[in-house]
Chains A and B, each alone.
With several copies, the nearest count.
Chain A
């Protein structure tokens, strides 16, 4: 087993170091006919907020070469509806469930944790942060979780915020960090003309070019952080996953590539299990 939360009183052990990234895999039933969930170290859910959130206005996706710009607004029916709908499934799933939580304020976060108290279907929290979240706000959200819940907490750190946030969050009690959320990008939706303002789409950037940016961050930050790091961003092959683990990441999250190759989750999990079997004497 791999321990995602070695400093936590209960811990968060996972059987394989391969997870889906929040937002690409739904809540646990979407891929039932395509992925054997037993290959997953854990289910990381779609982002969930206290209150329902509606989808962003379209377009929500643009393609640039090998890359995607995505902007959903993180729609979800709100925590209560999600728990009602998925609690039973999660109990039966056979892998730990990590709830990815969005919240604008620490009061909101406290309410979220309140609703989760006594909930046995969830084994961990992944906190999502906005791109330019300040250190103060990030710490306040983390504190609100820790005060109001016993669950281990992973924080997913925004791409541009690693320098500012990673160390303070680790020192303030985050059990693990996911590096990183996708970088934010902007693309024109059609050609520029002199008459009208250029229609633009803002979104998160996904694709293989994110991977070298991720590795750069991992190589600098893993040796400097006292907590486990989960790697996320542009991982599209077993070689990519191996490189992350070689740099010291405890696990990897696959993002948009899952939509194209759902079987990659199991393929990578199997290969890494083989590596690990060969390595242990």
Chain B
């Protein structure tokens, strides 16, 4: 059963533009994470992602935690497979993929994150003249040290046990004096990275504080499993007011108003 492929030669000529590599540069501890630096020509914009092949059956979703002219950093947990890479080794990547954060022409940027999901917001710490970060964690020890942040960032901490900052959770930030509620009217853009279960609540807070917020005033990142990154597997579907959407191609950054059910 022989067959010939007329276009055999031509296959190589199509630009397969989303298959790329990055070069591992170095990694150093930044408790509770490791900061890993890669060199790459077109690193993903904040909120966009890459799929890295580290040998597992699924590629790993990488959100940049910092962007440089010549590449980007990511934060990974200790024991991560990157620790087996040697400086100069290259990593097989697909991407960049997705719709990221839009912060052009923003003056007053409000960032909202749970500490363990903070990393995709880090590239935005100096994305506007005025930046406020509301950061929540169960307890003080799970928060990064304040001196890690640029001095220009106004930092509001929330801990569930009250060990530092406002005592409570993002979910319970209803009181007028809560740092989140106070900051929403001030901001002209909100970017969040939290448990998606919080977003309907956040949408209500935004509605309550801003009456008619413009589209994309509050942009929220959804971190779910994204096996393919291109809209092929349908595993990353999330429910929105407009029906199901794919986190990988329609997100992973959505308008919070998509979650007002």
Contacts and interface: CB of A to CB of B under 8 A. Distances in A.
B8 A34 contact: no
Interface residues of B, number: 36
A263 B230 contact: no
B244 A54 contact: yes
A67 B58 CA distance: 9
Interface in B135-183: none
A147 interface: no
A186 B233 CA distance: 20
Contacts of A34: 16, 18-19, 94, 230
Most B C-beta atoms less than 10 A away, residue of A29, A34, A279: A34
A276 B8 contact: no
Interface stretch (A137-145, A151-159, A162-170, A266-274): A266-274
A35 B7 CA distance: 14
Contacts of B11: 36, 38-39, 266, 270
Interface stretch (B25-33, B62-70, B203-211, B221-229): B221-229
Contacts of B14: 36, 38
Contacts of B18: 33-34
Contacts of A266: 11
Given A33-B18, A35-B16, A260-B53, A70 B235 contact: yes
B225 A61 contact: yes
A79 to B, nearest CB: 16
A116 interface: no
Could you tell me the dominant secondary structure of chain B's interface residues?
Answer: loop
B215 interface: no
A75 interface: yes
Contacts of A258: 228, 232
Contact of A75 (B8, B53, B225, B234): B234
Interface of B: 1-8, 10-12, 14-19, 53, 56-59, 94, 224-225, 227-235, 237, 244
Interface of A: 1-2, 15-17, 23-26, 29-31, 33-36, 38-39, 46, 54-55, 58-61, 63, 65-68, 70, 72, 74-76, 206-207, 250, 256, 258-263, 266, 269-270, 273, 276-277, 279-280
Given A26-B233, A34-B16, 10 more contacts: A24-B232, A36-B12, A38-B10, A58-B224, A60-B235, A63-B56, A72-B233, A76-B234, A259-B227, A260-B57
